[in-house]
Amino acid sequence: MMMHENFSPEAVVTISDLFTNLPALTSDRLVLRQLHSKDAQDYYEIFSDDEVTRYYDVDTMTSIEQARALIDRHDAHYRNRVSIRYALELKETGKVIGTIGLYNFKEAESVEIGFDLNRRYWKQGYMTEAIKRIIDFTFQNLRIYTVYGGFLKANTASENLMKRLGFKKGKVADDVEIKPGVFETVYFYRLDGEHTGE
């Protein structure tokens, strides 16, 4: 079943609203909607790839049960109003090819995003399309005017994506423990409301 946005483009959506009834968002090729347990197989396909987990704080998965456990963790964070995980679903097939997380909310101020994408869909503009939609929703509907994105220094693909979208380099955090015993440098980029990357 095709999902459609269930609010008007001008509607003001509060952070409390997000954690009560997460709205679906649409772009040209994607539906952005809440990640569910039924997405476990597609989620496992994403995180069973060493190239995806290389710059991520999750080890490469070896079973679908690990994907279910991570989805359960996202669900718990949503119920506890900690963070949100949008699934990126292809309109044509219904396949989930990635996710975007929103966390560290500050009402009327800022939010941080994180993202992942199935390697089969890299370099096809999907993540650019999805993040642009999230940015529009954040600025226009949530009325939050700063979006942050953090990623490992070595992750030049994410850095280039942030730059293309108009994000500017901010603080640098050294010796961040991203996995037990693994320390990396993390770059933080920011996008303010007057720089939409359009």
Mean pLDDT on 20-38:
95
Q: Looking at residue 39, what DSSP letter applies?
A: G
183 pLDDT tier (thresholds 50, 70, 90): confident
Residue 112 near residue 150 (C-beta atoms within 8 A): yes
The Cα–Cα gap between 82 and 84 comes to 7
Coil, strand, or helix at residue 22? coil
pLDDT over threshold 70, residue 33: yes
pTM for the full predicted model: 0.89
pLDDT for 2 equals: 38
Domains and CATH numbers, the chain: 15-192 (3.40.630.30)
pLDDT of residue 12: 84
The larger pLDDT score, comparing residue 194 to residue 149, is at 149
Check whether 7 has a pLDDT greater than 80.
no
